[in-house]
Structure 1
Amino acid sequence: MKKKVAFVCVHNSCRSQMAEAWAKKLGSDVLEAYSAGTEDYPEVQPPVVQVMKEAGIDMKGHRPKLLTELPAAVDILITMGCNVECPSLPCKYREDWGLADPTGGPIEDYRKTRDIIKGKVEELIQKVRNNQV
């Protein structure tokens, strides 16, 4: 049975979107991935779309979502390092990845963040496959 994972940050326009996309691409056999933010935002940031496309992931159709759009309960909650507290989101396992937000920085910062997130998602997938989560 797949584990439901929610990636959460403030605007759901950058890091959490990347994490959701990587989880869907790399771990669709073990994860049902979602992402959301605590504040409304108009779009997934264009640099995110660009750097994910460079990595072979099409972000077309992705849009920022709020916590209210997540399933009522998830197995795994991953926060991105923005001190997001989600007391209304029950989960069995929680991690904070402590990632710096590249918003407003050079495109290279987005690429670095993309690659760090890919590695963290791969680690998470391995934990799930090994029944460590």
Structure 2
Amino acid sequence: MTDGVLFICLGNSCRSIMAEALARQLFPDPLKVGSAGIRPLGFIPDETLEVLVESGIATDGLWSKGLADVDLANFPLLVNLTDYPWEGIIPADFQGRLIEHPVIDPFGHPLAIYRQALEAVRRFISQELPPLLFTNFTN
């Protein structure tokens, strides 16, 4: 089983934060779960926290951070939740697997869009992610 997954979005304030919180709830230890932003916002909007809480998802320990704040070596699986290309973002010597799964960015939109984004993330994590976790990505 893959021992770590890192979710990436633009600001690490909505999509990747939602994914981190959901994955922590659905996949217990020893799976390492994290999130990071390409250009971190530095805070988590109230709307992100609200949709997580109303869905019964724990929000403790979540904080907005950038790729420079995480050790990519701990995460053999990276999931890009944006439509931004990986080139120039992830080091060329990264040995893990990169998965593209764009989700609408709810930042600055009404709460209904945050809920839609959360549901899109939930579908990915519950349906598409599990088979990926049981694949060896490193050489």
Instruction: Name the TM tier (shorter chain).
Output: 0.7 to 0.9
Deviations 1:41-99 (A, max 9, x none): 23111101000001111314421011112124221010112305222272421111111
Q: Does 1:87 align with 2:90?
A: yes
**Given residue 63 of structure 1, which amino acid in structure 2 is its aligned partner?**
W
What are structure 2's unaligned runs of at least 5 residues?
none
The alignment partner of 2:13 has SS state of coil
Q: Look up the match of 1:120.
A: 124
- The answer on whether the counterparts of 2:13 and 2:40 sit within 8 Å (CA) in structure 1 is no
- The answer on whether the counterparts of 1:49 and 1:58 sit within 8 Å (CA) in structure 2 is no
Report the count of equivalent residues.
Answer: 132
Q: Look up the match of 1:107.
A: 111
Distance in structure 1 (CA, Å) of the matches to 2:84 and 2:120: 19
- The answer on whether the counterparts of 1:30 and 1:128 sit within 8 Å (CA) in structure 2 is no
Matches within 5 A, 1:1-133: 2-29=2-29, 31-73=31-73, 74-85=75-86, 86-88=89-91, 90-122=94-126, 123-129=128-134, 131=135
Q: CA deviation at 1:111?
A: 0.7
Distance in structure 2 (CA, Å) of the matches to 1:44 and 1:101: 13
Choose 84-93 or 4-13, whichever is displaced more.
84-93
Q: 1:91 to 1:118 in 2, by over 3 A?
A: farther
The alignment partner of 2:63 has SS state of coil
Q: List 4+ stretches of structure 1 deviating above 6 A.
A: none
What are structure 1's unaligned runs of at least 5 residues?
none
Q: CA deviation at 1:115?
A: 1.0
If the length of structure 2 is used for normalisation, what is the TM-score?
A: 0.83
Q: Percent identity?
A: 28
Distance in structure 1 (CA, Å) of the matches to 2:61 and 2:117: 21
Distance in structure 2 (CA, Å) of the matches to 1:11 and 1:28: 25
Q: CA deviation at 1:9?
A: 1.3
